[in-house]
Structure 1
């Protein structure tokens, strides 16, 4: 049993059981690199224990924590406030201590935005996002808040996509539309950025292919995939072969970590250290 030194600063991840947590390895690698006497703990928390877990984090002086599914919405009622994007998205994956208050943030979209910003600004761009789950919602809202001109959400269930599109139209200056995903989707030629926010291609189904017409990918497009295992999905490999600039799922995960550590500690973590740790895990 591990004994904790409570002189250390504590952060953590509250959520479902995780056999191997790459986020923990990544964040603690950054703590070591920057000389922070901090720990990032993976803590299994069931739905019935969420309120107690948040009270425990307050009592033990946690500087913050992440929330995984199924807590991203339920945790809101236990917090003292929400940052802008978390308020619009109505989901929290990162909690930050501000004095005596716990403030909900959402770094899912911020991580994607940071990784995208290393190669392209979203301002004025036309974006196509596949999927309408929590990751899609966070990414779409952050893109809209960052000045994207138009966001198209493509999903099998168009009603779910329309919920995201309506949220964007009502809370940002961007245009947003929902499109039903039927057959192989043909990307409009004016598309600037393509994002897969689905689980298609996730291990062990690594040969699964996104249902799009790959002939409509052009070298002017940036193509991103949120999947981290494997980092090199069929979409990423194909887009790169067609001359597109690409962002793999590790980029988003690393940048989420950078944002979270900055919110908790004020330190801007070295993304290279964190990515190397993930690459070692995923080979």
Structure 2
């Protein structure tokens, strides 16, 4: 039982984290529903995650989001992990259930809802994912479950890529493959959906080093970067008249799921969308 002056604490742990806009939509949602909850944006550097998770328990946080680079490492500090998060090997949302600290992954589910809302057909299609981190794993597992036939992982670290390919091949109905990221990459001509699941573009105007002029004509291009409506990657894709999806929609969708895990209430999604549109001055 909390007194009238006590606030519930949630937030996000990561590094870098100062440009993560999750607080905008989550705080708007809590305030609109008059829930006494504060969303904190907290930098936790590599090597400090164990201490942060102990602090989370000690300070009785209601829950937390986990972002780069901690989505994989955090599993060892939890009491319970959802089945899908176990398959992915990555957690992005933590909440309490029956006295246990539970890890879930809402990233892929939020991404999948964005594509479905945009009427993107996934059954039998081919996907290329740039990157092999926590977001890439979450997206790959959810896409495989939605009927995607082939998933190619393009990554500079071959060991990380192989881990993701093994997950796809051994634990999902899709077929996984790996292509090394060496120099300027040519995306295969039979690709239907291209996903940037790397941090490239998060802090600057960089874009993945690929051959944009050679992209398939009907390609759907997606970016998971959450703090920009149009990353340089998406702007480049739009020059070639390609359909694009930004990371903000994915962020809102996965944030709504996190809200529901923390509060036990249905998320005010429209309030969350309006808050983000106002933040980024979208008409």
Does the TM-score normalized on the shorter chain lie above 0.5?
yes
TM-score between the two structures when normalised by the length of structure 2: 0.84
Q: Matches of residues 218-257 of structure 1 in structure 2 within 5 Å? A: 218-257=216-255
Q: Matches of residues 78-227 of structure 1 in structure 2 within 5 Å? A: 78-119=77-118, 120-204=120-204, 206=205, 208-227=206-225
Distance 1:214 1:69 in 2: 27
Name the structure 1 match of 2:279: 281
* Offset, 1:140: 1.5
CA contact (8 A) 1:192 1:222 kept: yes
Which sits farther off after the overlay, 193-202 or 273-282?
273-282
* Offset, 1:48: 4.8
Name the structure 1 match of 2:54: 52
Distance 1:123 1:4 in 2: 51
- Residues 29-66 of structure 1 show CA distances to partners (whole Å, capped at 9, x for unaligned) of 12223443433233455335234224225xx3x44222
Which sits farther off after the overlay, 66-75 or 12-21?
12-21
After superposition, the Cα gap between the structure-2 partners of 1:186 and 1:13, relative to the gap in structure 1 and judged at 3 Å, is closer
* Offset, 1:151: 0.4
Structure 1 gap ranges (5+): none
Q: Name the SS of the counterpart of 1:95 in structure 2.
A: strand
- CA RMSD in angstroms comes to 2.7
